[in-house]
């Protein structure tokens, strides 16, 4: 499916867990071509994407740019690289096999006209990258920003402070559309980013309120913060709360709260 000129979605696959849509894989086509993420490792998932490439008249791809190394985004990387000849490009904290292009953020993949800028956006994972197609104003956000819902931040890999700082930095870019790693396109990007930041600030305030009421652990807080949560997601919710607690402790807010008591 062509989203805008030269940018295609190649959907296929299962959701990684309840409440999250299947991973998106994108193709950017200019004089050179780049896949954004690789989806699952199942051969049928890779074959579906290869079939889509063939339907577009492509037998090879120049780059496979990974937002991060979680299996629903990077699991199919080996299969797709072998089948298309694509050269892997990723942050070294996520993937650095021999011959890969190491992207720390600030470098661009030159597609022969279009430039795909890597932006380091740690938070969901330490080496998470978003890719900004500068000439189109399109941000490929991986799991940093989802089409529906909010991103899971699970310590120790996930870092809430880094996540919020990364969101704030994205406000400096002239983004006109976000193509997320899961879910539909986001056509009001600034509003979406500001909503995500506000949501995290409100959740942080709720965590502080729980602490003032004597609820000292993430496990104790979850029923109050997520009253309608499905039981199978309790561990994810506890991780989210723990990420907020780590951020608050790092900022000295927990110590100040104890001083008030």
CATH numbers and ranges of domains, the chain: 2-188 (3.60.15.10), 200-251 (no CATH)
Q: How far apart are CA 29 and CA 11, in angstroms?
A: 16
Residue-level pLDDT at 18? 47
3: which 2 tokens?
Answer: 């989203």
Q: Please pick, among 37, 62, 72, 159, the residue that the annotation labels catalytic.
A: 72
Residue-level pLDDT at 260? 59
Residue-level pLDDT at 57? 96
Q: For the chain, which residues score pLDDT lower than 70?
A: 11-20, 256, 258-261
Q: Give percent of the chain with pLDDT exceeding 90.
A: 85
Spatial CB neighbours of 213, under 8 Å, sequence gap ≥ 6: none
Residue-level pLDDT at 259? 57
Q: How far apart are CA 189 and CA 248, in angstroms?
A: 27
Q: How far apart are CA 252 and CA 71, in angstroms?
A: 35
Contacts 24+ apart (CB under 8 A), 16-19: 16/70, 16/71, 16/72, 18/230, 18/232, 18/233, 19/149, 19/230, 19/233
Q: Is 72 a catalytic residue?
A: yes
Instruction: Residue 125: name the closest of 149, 98, 176, 159 by CA.
Output: 159
Instruction: Residue 189: name the closest of 260, 130, 258 by CA.
Output: 130
Instruction: Residue 3: name the closest of 174, 170, 160, 184 by CA.
Output: 184
Q: Which helix (H) or strand (E) holds 9?
A: strand 7-9
Q: Which residues on adjacent β-strands are paired with residue 34? A: 28, 63
Instruction: Residue 180: name the closest of 36, 64, 65 by CA.
Output: 36
What are the distances in angstroms from CA 150 to CA 30, 61, 236, 242? 32, 31, 12, 16
């Amino acid at each position: 499916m062509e989203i805008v000129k030269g940018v295609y979605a190649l959907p296929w696959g299962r959701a990684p867990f309840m409440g999250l849509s299947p991973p998106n894989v994108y193709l950017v086509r200019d004089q050179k071509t780049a896949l954004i993420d690789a989806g699952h490792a199942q051969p049928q998932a890779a074959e579906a994407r290869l079939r889509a490439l063939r339907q577009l008249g492509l037998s090879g791809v120049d780059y496979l740019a990974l937002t991060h190394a979680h299996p629903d985004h990077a699991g199919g990387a080996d299969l797709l690289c072998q089948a298309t000849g694509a050269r892997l490009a990723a942050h070294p904290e996520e993937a650095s096999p021999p011959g890969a292009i190491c992207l720390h953020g600030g470098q661009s993949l030159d597609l022969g006209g279009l430039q795909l800028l890597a932006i380091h956006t740690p938070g969901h994972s330490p080496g998470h990258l978003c890719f900004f197609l500068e000439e189109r104003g399109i941000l490929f956000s991986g799991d940093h920003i989802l089409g529906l819902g909010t991103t899971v931040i699970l310590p120790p890999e996930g870092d809430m402070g880094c996540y919020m700082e990364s969101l704030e930095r994205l406000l400096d870019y002239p983004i006109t559309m976000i193509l997320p790693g899961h879910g539909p396109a986001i056509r009001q990007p600034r509003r979406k980013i500001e909503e995500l930041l506000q949501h995290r600030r409100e959740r942080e305030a709720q965590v502080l309120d729980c602490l003032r009421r004597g609820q000292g652990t993430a496990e104790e807080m979850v029923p109050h913060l997520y009253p309608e949560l499905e039981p199978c997601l309790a561990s994810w919710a506890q991780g989210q709360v723990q990420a907020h607690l780590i951020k608050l402790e790092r900022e000295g807010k927990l110590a100040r709260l104890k001083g008030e008591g």
